[in-house]
Structure 1
Amino acid sequence: MSTTLGLEALDRTVYQMMLDRPALGVAELAAELAVAPDQIHACLDRLFALQLVQASFEAPSRFTVVDPVLGVKRLLDQQHDELLRRQHQMASSHQALVRILAGSGGPAQRADGVELLAGPDAVRRRLERLALEARHEILTFQTDLPQPPTALRTVHESHAHALRRGVAVRTVGPDSIRDDATTVAHTRALVAQGGQVRTVATLPTPLVVVDGTYALVPVDPADSGKGALQLAAPGMIAPLLALFEQVWGTAVPLVGDPAGAGRVPSEQERALLTLLAQGHTDESAALQLHISARTARRIMASLNERLGARSRFEAGLRAARLGWV
């Protein structure tokens, strides 16, 4: 710890000896430690710079140690100030770099809020930049799942960095990824950091929306090699946001999604789902539960809405996937 705080081994030893034996001068310290007096002077200079020793009131030509608690506090304060200075310097450098990169996107075609990103590499670079600059939220329809482990790690690192900055991350993928152990493992790690991931049977198109300001859509959904369009016009972004929210509302959490915690059914709801899954009608299920058929239908309608299901069959599938039945 002392080295981290700027103290060398000899500095620490000299400080401790001065604390234990205040009467020792430079010559005595040098003799005790078998070092040259110049080395002791150098130690005292460093300790003085760190405010761990100060000039003695009784003998101004000599140093006396500062109270250890006060000395360490001063040292920590200095280190804290230095850390803040470096963080500010890094932030300034980062902003300058982003400004440089913003003007170095390579050849692109722009027109009225639309920019053509030609090819997968250009799309990847733009996604990385948007994730880096995101301030509020990243919304994604991830249709190209499951992905190779290296690609998953890249996406995970980008999203994890955004989450650490307080950016919300919501992703919707196809139901097929539930059978891919690698994807599920990465998803669990992302959810543990605050991300949310859900799935649906099919997705309309690949999509990324950042801060409700920029969106990326494929030039050709059937051929990712053709690149993507970055949209910035509010009139283009609004319907894409509405589409995302509509699909998100019908999607089912892939793993322990924080937003899905409130969707756990009551015992009565779980019993109704089980009876309907066994083939009971509303009337016979209601009879088993000692409720009216109208109440059973009302409960089922509420469950359909919570599950984002369009039919009783779909509700049964989603409930089973969530472990409700």
Structure 2
Amino acid sequence: MLVALGLETVDEAVYREMLESPALGVEEIAARLATTPDRVRACLDKLFELRLVQESFEAPGRFLAVEPATGLQRLLARQHAELIERQRQMADSQASFLRMFAGAGARVSSGGGVERLEGVDAVQRRLQELARDAVREVLTFMPGGAQSAAALRAARHHDGQALGRGVAVRVIGLEGVRGDAATLGYARWLTEQRGEFRTTASLPPRMVLVDGATALIPLDPEDTRRGALCLSGPALLAPLLALFEQTWERAAPLGPGGAGDPDPLSDHERALLTCIAQGHTDESAARQLHVSPRTARRTMASLMERLGARSRFEAGLKAARLGWL
């Protein structure tokens, strides 16, 4: 389990030995694991850096393993901070990438896969055309936090048009929209219509990608009213599609009933997630919570679906990111 959090197998083995037998020294642990004392010391250095072990107050120079639940919370907090930093760096890179396109737009002819659209009206007309003609999917970055009433009306109109024909619609907004009633209302409406909405800590400039064939990006990310570039062609769109999918994978699902609810989990669900985060299986968690294994499995499957998680570990990580634990 801890390998997914950055520990190697031998690091985890040393940690487990220290938990099970606190009195063991470096030599004894090395003998049990059939490795060298120097390798164990290197593992201890790493575990100490990750705050999974700490120095004994009674015997300075001797290390003690931190209780698993506390240790996991520390690792999750560390990974969360690293994830936020990676998202920020990725957003900065994406913004630079899109500004490069915008700067090049004035120099590319209409036959070069880049068309310049001047002003809001021209952009809205093209969005209407794209929503009308979409056959497969519409992917959108929605930066800027709370959206204006006009922008939300336009989004509902365009997305509703596409969704009505069975086109998949996925939107990524900033986490701050969870606290804005109007934007959150749009997000709830979208999910009710079988679209998908996720949030993340940072985003590149606004972008709309349709059917993997056309993309709109702003001429000026700081002033979207100036207009947009309409991009087409695999060479231009492939990196934008890849950036969207990378951001989507790191984003948090909206959840049932809309995010922003004061308490998205029942007491039973929170207790089950806490047990899973501590390393329990569904069966051992069921014993801890005095429910049947079937109930624990069913509840965990529902939580994983709500969180968009593909494993129990990922569910624990995403729940911690959302502040559910």
If asked which structure has higher relative contact order (CA below 8 Å, sep 6+), I would say 2
